[in-house]
Structure 1
Amino acid sequence: MHVLIDRITEKTGLDPTKVGPAIGIMLNFIAQNSSKEEVDALLVAFPAAEGFLAIDEARENTGLFGGLANKMNASVGVLAALNEMTSLGLSVEEIQEVAKETVQYTREKVGPEITNEIVSRVPGLAEIT
């Protein structure tokens, strides 16, 4: 993951001690809202990210109430992720820069099809990238 940290730091001038944790927060949120296949693809692209990913294996709730609960949890999750990144000292604009570069790197490493599927499914990701 250091390659991405270096890339974002060089492009944006952001502090790498903030960029690394921000990427971890973002990848964890993405993983919590992605399929197992997508998470596996992310781990290929970000091999050092495995330590950041605390994925609840029971995230596959189905049924009417399970689906509603997932949507509510995802909405709360995006706010929690943004809050975590702002608590690192990043502004909204800086979070967008990290998100855009992380998504671009993902496109390069796992391909546009999987990346676009992830972006379309993860709540709020399309709006900040």
Structure 2
Amino acid sequence: MEELTRRVVESTTLDPTIAKAAIGHVLMFLRDEVPEGHVGELIDKMTGAREAVAAAQAKSDGGVTQAIEGMTSFMGHGRADLNILIGKLANLGLSAEQSRRLLEETLARAEVLIGAEGVAKIRAMLPAMAERSGMASPPGEEGEMRPRA
């Protein structure tokens, strides 16, 4: 977790406390949305990740979650959860670019810990997130976000 936090801070210029909170929200979202337990494996292998997810779960957002759930319930479970994640990251002060970099760094660290196959499962759900948060896929790689090495 410390390595990921350091890389996120360097990439986004976020305060380390904000970076850790944002990482916790992303890991919690991915854990709930990605099938086959690959994010669970990542959380198990990343020291401090369980604590970051627990802190993200405990953090109140002043009713934003309930409002977004109400407005987006007709869109389906995944879309509503994505809107909630984007809202939580925005509440932490992250711009769309900082959110994109946060995801890139999270995936880069995940690949080190769980391998390319596990990360491929995670990436399979990211096109919708990229579309909703303004994070573009690299040219020629539609539907897939690639983290930097």
TM-score category (smaller protein): 0.7 to 0.9
Residue 123 of structure 1: how far off its partner (Å) = 6.4
Q: How many pairs are equivalent?
A: 114
% same residue: 26
- Alignment correspondent of 1:77: 81
Q: Which runs of 4+ in 1 moved over 4 A?
A: none
Q: Deviations over 1:71-92 (max 9, x none)?
A: 8111000010010000001111
Quote the RMSD (CA, aligned, Å): 2.3
Residue 30 of structure 1: how far off its partner (Å) = 0.2
Instruction: State how 1:1-129 maps to structure 2 within 5 Å.
Output: 1-35=1-35, 37-51=37-51, 52=53, 72-121=76-125, 124-125=128-129, 128=135, 129=145
If each structure's helix is expressed as a fraction of its own residues, which one has the higher value? 1
Contact 1:119 1:125 in 2 (8 A): no
Residue 2 of structure 1: how far off its partner (Å) = 1.8
Worse-matched range after superposition: 4-13 or 82-91 = 4-13
Aligned partner letter, 2:80: V
Contact 2:31 2:40 in 1 (8 A): no
Which sections of structure 2, spanning at least 5 residues, go unmatched?
58-72, 136-144
Worse-matched range after superposition: 4-13 or 76-85 = 4-13
Contact 2:34 2:122 in 1 (8 A): yes
- Distance of 2:77 and 2:43 partners within structure 1: 23
Of structures 1 and 2, the one with the larger relative CO (CA 8 A, separation 6+) is 1
- Distance of 1:26 and 1:44 partners within structure 2: 15
Q: Deviations over 1:15-42 (max 9, x none)?
A: 1121111100000000001235313311
- Alignment correspondent of 1:58: none
Which sections of structure 1, spanning at least 5 residues, go unmatched?
55-68
